[in-house]
């Protein structure tokens, strides 16, 4: 305000009063017209954004939207348990349902599935972890590939090929973070959408096995109507999705819900593998580690769990860094 007064006083001294008054009026008119034009443009932009939002929210169709997921998920079925492993097949098949269930505790569904692969390969004797001290290496524990796993799913096979080819880049024959990063950068065009491998395979598999289906219908908003196609869970798909959530509930309360029968104990390996999809394998391990049955049939240790979890976390991080691919959270 002080600066404005000084300018007015200064102008009145060096500019005749009538000229000064006219210049102020002209400037004011120009500013008014400019402001009016600016406000009009802003108003039009806001209107376009509002219309666009309404269109997307109320009338647009997205081919990969499963429209009844939230309805089926409900309030996560508190107090309801599924004691049988929900899905007998490659974990990558149900990637999208695990992701949308909201039950993965670390928000890294791809890392969790990769982790489950590592556990399975280790338990089956296809890989091992060895400490290799070399200089100032901050990660001395390396994965060494012993043999090719059997009965892999298509995405699991591709992930194994990445690990395998990475370990072959040097004569040492073990997997290490630096070589993985170099390998992915070199083959960036093949792996730039690596996260989409899981998403695309999951959709294709769920549809092929009858858990989801195309659903054409009409959307309307006031006087506007559009038709299109999205996806929806079938009855068997709803059951699978519910059981994925209820099995998580079972694992979450495992200390008080699990049975002591030998039949249950004989499934501990499979339960452990499935629990890793929720990032609850350490919790499950802590629930069974002190039992006599587990001590006699030990298939994993806490140290191995920590190391494999670190490897799978590194995998997701390196993929993002090396290829620029980001797992979409939707």
Q: Which tens digit of pLDDT belongs to each residue from 248-277?
A: 999 999 988 877 677 889 999 999 999 999
Mean pLDDT of 287-300: 94
- Range of weakest confidence among 30-34, 101-105, 110-114: 30-34
Q: Which residue segment(s) compose the domain that 98 sits in?
A: 66-323
Tell me, yes or no, whether 45 and 78 share the same domain.
no
Tell me, yes or no, whether 94 and 222 share the same domain.
yes
Residue 187 falls inside a structural domain:
yes
Tell me, yes or no, whether 70 and 45 share the same domain.
no
Tell me, yes or no, whether 213 and 269 share the same domain.
yes
Residue 329 falls inside a structural domain:
no
Q: What distance, in Å, lies between the first and last C-alpha atoms of the chain?
A: 50
Do 113 and 91 meet the contact criterion of CB atoms below 8 Å apart?
Answer: yes
Tell me, yes or no, whether 253 and 299 share the same domain.
yes
Tell me, yes or no, whether 39 and 156 share the same domain.
no
Do 281 and 120 meet the contact criterion of CB atoms below 8 Å apart?
Answer: no
Task: Say whether pTM exceeds 0.85.
Answer: no
Dihedral in degrees, nearest 10, Cα atoms 173, 175, 177, 183 = 70
pLDDT of residue 43: 79
Residue 231 falls inside a structural domain:
yes
Confidence of residue 228 (pLDDT cuts 50, 70, 90): confident
In the predicted model, is pLDDT for residue 283 greater than 90?
A: yes
Q: Which residue has the higher pLDDT, 306 or 182?
A: 306
Tell me, yes or no, whether 214 and 266 share the same domain.
yes
Tell me, yes or no, whether 134 and 42 share the same domain.
no
pLDDT of residue 57: 63
Q: What is the largest CA-CA distance in the chain?
A: 105
pLDDT of residue 329: 52
Tell me, yes or no, whether 41 and 78 share the same domain.
no
Tell me, yes or no, whether 35 and 74 share the same domain.
no
CB-based contacts of 176, cutoff 8 Å, min separation 6: 139, 142, 166
Tell me, yes or no, whether 31 and 154 share the same domain.
no
pLDDT of residue 26: 58
In the predicted model, is pLDDT for residue 298 greater than 90?
A: yes
CB-based contacts of 167, cutoff 8 Å, min separation 6: 143, 144, 145, 173, 174, 175, 179
Number of domains the chain contains: 2
Q: Which residue has the higher pLDDT, 256 or 89?
A: 89
Tell me, yes or no, whether 32 and 74 share the same domain.
no
In the predicted model, is pLDDT for residue 127 greater than 50?
A: yes
In the predicted model, is pLDDT for residue 163 greater than 90?
A: no
Q: Which residue has the higher pLDDT, 115 or 107?
A: 115
Q: How far is CA 330 from CA 155, 273, 293, 297, in A?
A: 21, 25, 41, 40
Residue 297 falls inside a structural domain:
yes
- Range of weakest confidence among 42-46, 81-85, 136-140: 136-140
- Range of weakest confidence among 131-140, 190-199, 315-324: 131-140
| CB neighbourhood size of 16 (10 A) | 9
């Amino acid at each position: 305000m002080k600066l404005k007064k000084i300018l007015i006083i200064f102008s009145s001294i060096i500019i005749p009063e009538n000229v000064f008054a006219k210049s102020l009026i002209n400037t004011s008119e120009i500013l008014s017209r400019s402001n009016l034009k600016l406000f009009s443009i802003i108003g039009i932009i806001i209107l376009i954004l509002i219309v666009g939002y309404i269109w997307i929210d109320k009338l647009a169709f997205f081919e990969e939207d499963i429209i009844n997921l939230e309805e089926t998920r409900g309030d996560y079925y508190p107090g309801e348990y599924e004691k049988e492993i929900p899905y007998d097949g490659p974990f990558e098949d149900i990637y999208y349902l695990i992701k949308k269930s909201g039950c993965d505790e670390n928000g890294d569904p791809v890392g969790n599935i990769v982790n489950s692969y590592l556990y399975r390969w280790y338990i089956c004797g296809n890989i091992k972890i060895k400490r290799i001290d070399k200089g100032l290496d901050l990660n001395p524990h390396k994965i060494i590939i012993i043999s090719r796993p059997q009965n892999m799913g298509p995405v699991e096979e591709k992930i194994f090929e990445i690990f395998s080819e990475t370990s072959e880049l040097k004569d040492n024959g073990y997997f290490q973070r630096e070589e993985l990063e170099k390998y992915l950068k070199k083959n960036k065009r093949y792996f730039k959408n690596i996260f989409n491998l899981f998403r695309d395979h999951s959709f294709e598999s769920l549809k092929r096995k009858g858990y989801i289906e195309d659903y054409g219908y009409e959307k309307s908003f006031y006087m506007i109507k559009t038709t299109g196609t999205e996806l929806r869970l079938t009855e068997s798909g709803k059951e699978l999705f519910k059981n994925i959530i209820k099995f998580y509930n079972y694992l979450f309360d495992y200390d008080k819900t699990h049975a002591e029968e030998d039949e249950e104990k004989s499934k501990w390996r499979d339960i452990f593998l499935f629990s890793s999809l929720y990032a609850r394998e350490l919790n499950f391990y802590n629930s069974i580690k002190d039992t006599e049955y587990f001590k006699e049939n030990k298939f994993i240790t806490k140290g191995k769990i920590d190391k494999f979890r670190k490897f799978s976390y590194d995998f997701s991080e390196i993929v993002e860094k090396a290829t620029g691919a980001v797992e979409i959270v939707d």
